[in-house]
């Protein structure tokens, strides 16, 4: 596999795609395909940029040495730190171009949100005091890949923010958080050794696993809380939700969690697609 595709971590892209899909479906007759594509480009390139930035920062800090998860470019020597850093900046540039275009079509305030998103992406593991090393990664993911991604996409197509758009953003944010949580559960022991105090490290293995299952459960409940009858369609992925939750709760560790990370990404994609269908036909 091409090393840059490997470094982009395609399994995490549902966190960028699903919110745009849901928000566009919610926009209904007001949906605009061009603005939806721009929003999708912002989300995807921002996610890829985060992944490269994380690879670079953890690599130069030595946090990825002796890791269990998928290969990282810097730590494995597949690419130099400088190359990966440039890849992150190029990805952020692509996201910025799409975001700027979108802001010119809608509101200049989106430029400030875009700047905040890129700053959060870099600050997750980059800089002297990365917030991801202090257990705040999940909060950032919920805000940027849940609330802002969903509500922002809806706003760019309709020109308004509604209570329903906010509620629809909640399950998207929770499922994006779940992807990060299972990743941090897998790396918890190594992260603790190198001083990376993720939420999984701070609350411990058992609570982190229960928290992961809770995120999936609340995502389902929040979709049903929209009181849209068609939202019952999201229950079609409940067997997958239960299967992943059981595996994590039962104590799967190390490399056994890698396929579960992929399944969690697929869960968000399937959930998002069903939720989008529900919103489109309401």
**Contact predicate 96/114, CB 8 Å:** yes
Residue 52, classed as helix, strand or coil, is helix
Per-residue pLDDT of the chain (282 residues), as tens digits, is 588 888 888 888 999 999 999 999 999 988 999 999 999 999 999 999 999 998 888 778 766 556 666 677 887 788 898 999 999 999 999 999 999 999 999 999 999 999 999 999 999 888 788 898 888 999 999 999 999 999 999 999 999 999 999 999 999 999 999 999 998 998 888 888 878 899 999 999 999 999 999 999 999 999 999 999 999 999 999 999 999 999 999 988 888 888 998 899 999 999 999 999 999 998
Query: For the structural domain made of 3-281, what CATH number should be given?
Result: 1.10.600
**Contact predicate 137/65, CB 8 Å:** no
Please give the C-alpha separations between residue 76 and each of 158, 230, 240, 281, in angstroms, as whole numbers. 45, 47, 33, 48
H helices present in the chain, as ranges: 3-8, 14-27, 33-61, 73-76, 81-105, 109-123, 137-142, 149-158, 163-186, 188-193, 199-203, 205-224, 238-249, 258-281
Each domain of the chain, given as residue ranges in start order, spans: 3-281
The angle, 0 to 180 degrees and rounded to 10, between the axes of the packed helices 163-186 and 14-27 is 170
In a 13 Å sphere around the CA of 59, the CA atoms on its Cβ side amount to 22
DSSP for residue 147: I
CA 235 to chain centre: 21
Pairwise CA distance, residues 214 & 186, whole Å: 17
pTM: 0.93
Please give the C-alpha separations between residue 176 and each of 106, 159, 265, in angstroms, as whole numbers. 26, 25, 8
């Amino acid at each position: 596999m091409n090393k840059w595709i490997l470094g982009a971590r395609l399994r995490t892209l549902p966190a960028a795609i699903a919110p745009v899909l849901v928000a566009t479906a919610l926009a209904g007759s007001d949906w605009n395909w061009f603005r939806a594509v721009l929003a999708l480009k912002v989300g995807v390139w921002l996610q890829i940029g985060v992944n490269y930035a994380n690879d670079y920062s953890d690599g130069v800090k030595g946090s990825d040495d002796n890791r269990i998860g998928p290969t990282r470019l810097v730590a494995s020597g597949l690419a130099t730190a400088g190359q990966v850093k440039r890849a992150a900046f190029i990805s952020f540039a692509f996201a910025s171009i799409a975001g700027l275009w979108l802001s010119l079509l809608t509101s200049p305030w989106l430029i400030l949100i875009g700047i905040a998103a890129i700053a959060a992406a870099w600050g997750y593991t980059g800089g002297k005091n990365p917030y991801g090393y202090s257990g705040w990664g999940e909060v950032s993911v919920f805000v940027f890949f849940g609330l802002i991604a969903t509500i922002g996409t809806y706003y760019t197509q309709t020109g308004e923010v509604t209570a329903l758009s906010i509620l629809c953003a909640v399950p998207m944010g929770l499922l994006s958080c779940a992807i990060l949580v299972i990743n941090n559960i897998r790396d918890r022991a190594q992260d603790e050794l190198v001083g990376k105090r993720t939420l999984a490290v701070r609350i411990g293995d058992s609570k982190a696993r229960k928290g992961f299952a809770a995120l999936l459960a609340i995502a389902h409940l929040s979709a049903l809380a929209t009181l849209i009858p068609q939202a019952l369609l999201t229950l079609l992925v409940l067997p997958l939700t239960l299967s992943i939750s059981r595996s994590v709760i039962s104590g799967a560790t190390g490399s056994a969690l890698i396929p579960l990370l992929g399944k969690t990404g697929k869960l968000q994609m399937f959930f998002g697609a069903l939720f989008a269908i529900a919103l489109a036909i309401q």
